[in-house]
């Protein structure tokens, strides 16, 4: 019998010796590889993307590093906790896939990270929408976002001939009981903006159109609802679309990130209808649905589908046509400056005048919408189908035309939505033929007013 043979000790010793040898070899290997790191290109080709993770105290230095190194690296900003509750912003340069892996491993309240949107970098259309809920108890944020989206789809079609739908818009939400807060990030498969300056110009133009209630197919009330009280007294309503987010090297909060010291992370909004197309993603880099959403939420990252994009531009001088920025040139007084009292798409209460105006613009044009301003007793007819403006003697490229009817004076004139147009020569109001004013006939002829 061999019961006294120390089997366990024997194998155990042998195993320890082998492990020790392996450990030594491993350490040697590690120290050797440290002496001769893999060249960046090889690292990149082995892992699919560069492994850089470089921290900077200054944003400019981080951006500079990205410019020099390229390789799809991006700059992210993050808040680091110092001395209790204070935060300090630092910058990390890395590939977005690395950023995601780091980001998702952190506890939710420690994900205080932002994408830096460098100037002169192609980017997506993005919106930062917010308003104080307590100061605007009647405002319906979801409805307002829908209105803004519809307006933006109209502008895309009108300016770029691009069809964009709700399924192309990633909606992220960080609302609290006190504040409505959403980000919209447009996923346009065949278009990218030149940079966020062009995006800012586009948004400025869009919000001006909305402010002046000029977006077709959206009612005047709905367009006006995008302007809210900002919670401070004695100020005019402000747009719920923050137009200060298109500045140079803007920091824009990441998906699932919270502001420093706050606990309201940006999550997928309940109303979001965009789903990432998994065919575009490398499963190893973007292994989960959240990872794919993170990828889509980046403003300056287009993944593998960057090459076929059409570059969208919007110069600041384009904002000029149709804006009221130059108020000195503006016709005065504009009958539409007061709040409209009534409006609609089908017949107005003055159907005879409706028919008269429709007859003026037919057959090319139709009346798209009418708006009645009680204070001036004026009806404004928005015209669709023709942009021929009598002031310039040709069609406008972008601005639609309108007819303005003054009811007490029984006059009308053709105008347009270009405030610079005819700044010096305002069209003279023309009389409306009496047959289109049946109620005045009734009053002047008055055969039926015989006393009983
Ligand atoms: Zn005109």
Q: What is the 3-state secondary structure (H, E, C) of 189-251?
A: CCEEECCHHHHHHHHHHHHHHHHCCCCCCCCHHHHHCCEECCCCCCCCCEECECCCCCCCCEE
Mean predicted confidence (pLDDT) in 123-133: 96
- Going by pLDDT thresholds of 50, 70 and 90, the confidence category of residue 371 is confident
- Structure-model confidence comparison of residues 24 and 206, the more confident one: 206
Higher confidence at residue 303 or residue 7? 303
User: Number of C-alpha atoms within 13 angstroms, CB side, residue 27?
Assistant: 6
418 Cα–ligand 1 center, Å: 6
CA 421–ligand 1 middle distance (angstroms): 5
Average pLDDT of the residues in 261-267: 85
Does residue 177 have a pLDDT over 90? yes
Q: Which of 116-130, 182-196, 386-400 has the lowest mean pLDDT?
A: 386-400
Tokens of 209: 């159109």
Say how far apart CA 405 and CA 359 lie, in whole Å.
14
| pLDDT in the model for residue 94 | 95
29 confidence band (pLDDT: 50, 70, 90): low
Percent of the chain with pLDDT over 70: 76
Q: How far is CA 257 from CA 82, 100, 107, 117, 267, in A?
A: 19, 11, 10, 16, 8
Banded model confidence at residue 324, pLDDT cuts 50, 70, 90: very low
Average pLDDT, the chain: 80
Ligand 1: distance of its center to the CA of 6 in Å?
Answer: 103
Look at residue 256 in the predicted model and tell me its pLDDT. 93
pLDDT over 90, % of the chain: 42
Taking the CA of residue 326 as centre, how many other CA atoms within 13 Å lie in the half-sphere pointing to its CB?
11
203-208: average pLDDT: 93
**pTM of the entire predicted model:** 0.65
For 30-65, how does the pLDDT look when each residue is reduced to its tens digit (9 = 90+)? 555 444 443 333 334 345 788 889 999 999 999 999
Nearest to 245 by CA among 62, 90, 117, 151: 117
> For residue 84, is pLDDT > 50?
yes
The vertex-172 CA angle with 283 and 289, nearest 5°, equals 15
Contact 217, 150 (CB under 8 A): yes
- Gap from CA of 436 to ligand 1 centroid (Å): 26
User: According to the model, what pLDDT value does residue 450 have?
Assistant: 38
pLDDT at 189: 83
Q: Tell me the three-class secondary structure of the chain, residue by residue.
A: CCCCCCHHHHHHHHHHHHHHHHHHHHHHHHHHHHHCCCCHHHHHHHHCCCCCEEEECCHHHHHHHHHHHCCCCEEEEEEEEECCCEEEEEEEEECHHHHHHHHHHCCHHHCCEEEEECCCCCECCEEEEEEECCCCCCCCHHHHHHHHHHHHHHHHHHHHCCCCCHHHEEEEECCCCCEEEEEEEECCCCEEECCHHHHHHHHHHHHHHHHCCCCCCCCHHHHHCCEECCCCCCCCCEECECCCCCCCCEEEECCCCCCCCCCCCCEECCCCCCCCCHHHCCCCCCCCHHHHHHHHHCCCCCHHHCCCCEEECCCHHHHCCCCCCCHHHCCCCCHHHCCCCEEECCCCCCHHHHHHHHHHHCCCCEEEEEEEECCCCEEEEEEECCCEECCCCEECCCCCEEEEEECCCCEEEEEECCCCCCCCCCCCCEECCHHHCHHHHHHHHCHHHCCC
Give CA–CA dist 383/393, Å, rounded. Answer: 17
Distance 149 CA to ligand 1 centre (A): 27
Q: 346 CA to middle of ligand 1, Å?
A: 25
Between residues 407 and 137, which one has the greater pLDDT? 137
Q: Which two tokens stand for residue 139?
A: 């405002």
Give the number of other Cβ atoms within 10 Å of residue 96's Cβ: 24
Q: Which strands sit side by side in the sheet containing 378-384, from one edge to the other?
A: 342-344, 366-373, 378-384, 401-406, 411-416, 430-431
- pLDDT tier, 9 (very low <50, low <70, confident <90, very high otherwise): very low
End-to-end CA distance of the chain: 139
**Would you state the pLDDT for residue 10?**
41
CA of 407 from ligand 1 middle (Å) equals 23
| Cα 398 to middle of ligand 1, angstroms | 10
pLDDT band at 138 (very low <50, low <70, confident <90, very high): very high
- Separation of 333 CA from ligand 1 center, angstroms? 16
Task: Inform me whether the pLDDT recorded for 15 exceeds 60.
Answer: no
Note the pLDDT of residue 412. Answer: 93
Q: Give pLDDT, residue 2.
A: 40
* Spatial separation of the C-alpha atoms in residues 379 and 335, rounded to whole Å: 9
pLDDT surpassing 50 at residue 167: yes
Q: Measured in angstroms, how far is the CA atom of residue 236 from the centroid of ligand 1? A: 29
pLDDT (0 to 100) of residue 323: 37
Q: How many CA atoms lie within 13 A of 379 on its CB side?
A: 26
Q: Return the closest-CA partner of residue 138 out of 175, 166, 180.
A: 180
CA–CA separation, 363 and 344 (whole Å): 21
What are the tens digits of pLDDT across the range 385-397? Answer: 899 988 888 888 8
CA of 277 to the centre of ligand 1 (A): 44
- 27 token code pair: 């350490």
Q: What is the rounded CA–CA span in Å between residue 240 and residue 131?
A: 6
Q: Ligand 1: distance of its center to the CA of 12 in Å?
A: 94
Are 405 and 415 a contacting pair, CB within 8 Å?
Answer: no
Whether the per-residue pLDDT at 188 is higher than 50: the answer is: yes
- 337 pLDDT higher than 50: no
| Contact residues for 350 (Cβ-Cβ < 8 A; gap 6+) | 379, 405, 407
């Amino acid at each position: 019998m061999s019961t006294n043979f120390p089997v366990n000790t024997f194998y155990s010793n042998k195993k320890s010796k082998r492990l020790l040898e392996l450990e030594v070899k491993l350490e040697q290997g590690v120290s050797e590889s440290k002496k001769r790191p893999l060249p960046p290109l090889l690292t990149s080709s082995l892992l699919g993307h560069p492994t850089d993770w470089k921290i900077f105290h200054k944003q400019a230095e981080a951006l500079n590093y990205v410019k020099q190194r390229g390789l799809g690296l991006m700059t992210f900003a993050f808040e680091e906790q110092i001395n209790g509750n204070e935060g300090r912003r630092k910058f990390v340069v890395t590939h977005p896939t690395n950023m995601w892996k780091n980001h998702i491993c952190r506890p939710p309240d420690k994900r205080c990270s932002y994408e830096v949107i460098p100037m002169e970098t192609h980017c997506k259309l993005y919106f930062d929408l917010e308003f104080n809920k307590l100061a605007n108890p009647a405002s319906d944020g979801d409805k307002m976002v829908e209105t803004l989206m519809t307006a933006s789809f109209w502008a895309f079609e009108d300016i770029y001939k691009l069809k964009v739908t709700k399924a192309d818009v990633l909606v992220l939400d960080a609302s609290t009981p006190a504040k409505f807060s959403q980000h919209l990030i447009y996923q346009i498969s065949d278009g990218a903006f030149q940079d966020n300056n062009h995006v800012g110009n586009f948004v400025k133009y869009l919000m001006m159109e909305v402010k002046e209630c000029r977006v077709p197919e959206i009612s005047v009330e709905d367009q006006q609802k995008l302007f809210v009280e900002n919670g401070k007294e004695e100020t005019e309503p402000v747009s719920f679309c923050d137009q200060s987010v298109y500045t140079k090297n803007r920091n824009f909060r990441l998906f699932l990130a919270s502001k420093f010291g706050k606990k309201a992370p940006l999550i997928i909004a309940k109303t979001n209808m965009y789903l990432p197309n998994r065919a575009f993603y490398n499963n190893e880099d973007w292994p989960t649905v959240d990872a794919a959403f993170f990828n889509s939420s980046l403003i300056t990252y287009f993944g593998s589908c960057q090459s076929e994009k059409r570059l969208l531009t919007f110069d600041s001088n384009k904002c000029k046509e149709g804006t009221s920025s130059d108020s000195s040139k503006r016709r005065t007084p504009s009958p539409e400056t007061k709040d409209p009292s009534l409006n609609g798409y089908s017949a107005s209460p003055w159907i005879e005048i409706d028919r008269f105006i429709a007859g003026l613009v037919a057959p090319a044009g139709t009346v798209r919408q009418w708006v009645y301003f009680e204070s001036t007793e004026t009806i404004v007819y928005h015209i669709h189908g023709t942009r021929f403006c009598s002031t310039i003697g040709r069609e406008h490229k972008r601005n639609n035309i309108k007819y303005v009817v003054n009811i007490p004076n029984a006059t009308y004139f053709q105008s347009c939505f270009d405030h610079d147009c005819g700044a010096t020569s305002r069209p003279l109001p023309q009389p409306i033929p009496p047959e289109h004013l049946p109620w005045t006939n009734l009053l002047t002829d008055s055969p039926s007013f015989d006393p009983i």
